[in-house]
Structure formats: C-alpha cells, structure tokens
C-alpha cells in the first residue's frame, strides 16, 4: 500500500483534533479532503510529512505508513521524509530569492548533482509557468503575481521529484482565474505524482480529484471515489454537507 493511516489520533495539548483515522491513499491519484472549517483536515494533512512537528503541543498517536514504513516509527528521519513528500501551503510562500534560486534551493541542499538549468526548466514546465517566466528567471520571485507565485511554489515542490505533493488549500488566497490555472496544473500532475489536496471548496474537489474524503469534527466520515461522494454519498452527514445544508 502507498499511504496507509492506522488508528491515527492527533492532539493539540488536551484537545483531540483528529480522531481515530483509518485511510488508504492510492498512488498516482489526486485525493481531496473536504469538510467544514476546523474539522481537522489540515491537521491530518500536515501529519503526513510531519510538518506538525513544528506546532508546539501537537502530539500524534497511531501509525502513518508510507511505502510500508511507519513515519512516526523509530529511525525515521523527518527531514528525509519531507524530501519525498512535498507540500504547498495556503498562501504562496516563495523565498526572498530569484525564481531560479527558488527552484534549485531544495535540490541543492539535498545534494542534487545534475544540471540545474535543466532542472529549473523541467520544474517550471511541469508547473505550467515556464512560458511566463523563462525570460526573467533571475528576477525576484516577489515580482510575480499571487497566482504565479503559487505555481512557482508547486514548481519548487515538483523540482524535488517527490512521491507525494500535499496541498493545503492552495487556492484560498488566489483569484478565480489563477485558481483555474492551478486546478488545471493539478490535473497535469496526476499520474506523475500523488497529490493530496485539502480544500474548503467542494466544487474544486469535484473538479480536480479522483477520490474524496469527507471529514467532520475530527473524524473521517466517508472516503470514496469523488463521483460517488458527490452523487450518492453513503452517509447522511456527507449528503447534508455537499448539498449545502451546513458548513
């Protein structure tokens, strides 16, 4: 199995934010996580590459198996894990460096020995940004628009050639047009990478994902093919949510 979560609980101090999750994520697909705000979907996402290690007071119980190994087990180096499971955040967060240096920073510190120019071109093409920025690779990344910055962040993740890219509401800070481009990009990434995307936008989940998980108050209510979730959900809660009765 690619990613297999077993009996996962996540606490913030005394508060249990994520309760007893059991979930299998398939390789090469786009998996969406939906649910009302505060349902624990972002927390769950951050636990998959141990980014929650940086949140003071966060504590994890249970297992997250990635390629057969529990990432919370002994002898696991979270830094190495993160070079295989990349992440894109809510707000675009490029480094205060040039576009070029944004892309190569991750591979460089991880000892990449190939040709950096090629890597940059490949990553930017992979993120559908190459044509827009190829003439100004050495300009500051902050000169890009918000949507371009977010695609740069995706390119930066792609350049690491990870197995999985986690996306935490990647379009929440973007305008509709940029959102569309990012969604198209996620579709292009399918097959090459596995993508797990948290979104508060149900239409987005329906447009981009193969499978969808619905979470509510820290629990995983339902996980199925996206089509099934949106046409004939098995649970009453899921149905209420996707038909807009709450959330």
Interactions with another protein, residue window 30-69 (CB under 8 A): 49, 51, 54, 56
* Least distance (Å) between residue 88 CB and another protein: 8
Q: How far, in Å, CA of 76 to CA of 58, rounded?
A: 18
Q: Does 114 bind another protein (CB under 8 A)?
A: no
* Least distance (Å) between residue 119 CB and another protein: 13
Contact at 8 Å (CB) between 39 and 45? no
Q: How far, in Å, CA of 147 to CA of 183, rounded?
A: 11
CA distance readout (Å), 221 to 88, 139, 141, 185, 205 = 25, 46, 40, 28, 16
* Least distance (Å) between residue 153 CB and another protein: 7
DSSP 8-state class, residue 181: H
* Least distance (Å) between residue 233 CB and another protein: 32
* Least distance (Å) between residue 47 CB and another protein: 13
Count of residues of this chain found to bind another protein when the rule CB under 8 A is applied:
28
Instruction: Pick between residue 54 and residue 246 the one whose CB is nearest to another protein.
Output: 54
Q: Does 231 bind another protein (CB under 8 A)?
A: no
Interactions with another protein, residue window 138-167 (CB under 8 A): 142, 153, 156-157, 160
Instruction: Pick between residue 89 and residue 241 the one whose CB is nearest to another protein.
Output: 89
Q: How far, in Å, CA of 13 to CA of 23, rounded?
A: 24
Question: Can you point out the beta strands (E) in the chain?
Answer: 3-12, 15-25, 30-34, 58-66, 69-70, 85-88, 164-168, 194-198, 211-216, 219-225
Q: How far, in Å, CA of 81 to CA of 60, rounded?
A: 16
Contact footprint for another protein (CB under 8 A): 49, 51, 54, 56, 79-84, 86-89, 91, 93-96, 105-106, 109-110, 142, 153, 156-157, 160
């Amino acid at each position: 199995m690619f990613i297999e979560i077993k009996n996962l609980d996540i606490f913030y101090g005394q508060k249990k934010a994520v309760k007893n999750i059991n979930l299998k994520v398939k390789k090469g697909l786009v998996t969406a996580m939906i649910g009302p705000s505060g349902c624990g979907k972002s927390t769950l996402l951050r636990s998959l590459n141990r980014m929650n290690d940086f949140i003071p007071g966060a504590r994890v119980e249970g297992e997250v198996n990635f390629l057969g190994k529990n990432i919370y087990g002994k002898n696991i180096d979270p830094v190495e894990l993160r070079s295989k499971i990349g992440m894109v955040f809510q707000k675009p967060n490029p480094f205060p460096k040039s576009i070029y240096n944004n892309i190569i920073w991750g591979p460089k510190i991880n000892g990449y020995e190939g040709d950096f120019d090629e890597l940059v071109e490949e990553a930017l093409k992979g993120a559908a940004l190459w044509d827009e920025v190829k003439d100004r690779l050495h300009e500051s990344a902050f000169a890009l628009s918000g949507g371009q910055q977010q695609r740069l962040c995706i390119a930066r993740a792609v350049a690491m050639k990870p197995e999985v890219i986690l996306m935490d509401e990647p379009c929440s800070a973007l305008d509709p047009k940029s959102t569309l481009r990012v969604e198209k990009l996620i579709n292009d990434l399918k097959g090459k990478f596995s993508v797990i995307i948290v979104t508060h936008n149900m239409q987005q989940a329906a447009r981009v994902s193969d499978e969808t998980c619905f979470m509510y108050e820290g629990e995983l209510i339902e996980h199925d093919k996206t089509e099934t979730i949106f046409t004939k959900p098995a649970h009453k809660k899921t149905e209420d949510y996707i038909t807009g009765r709450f959330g």
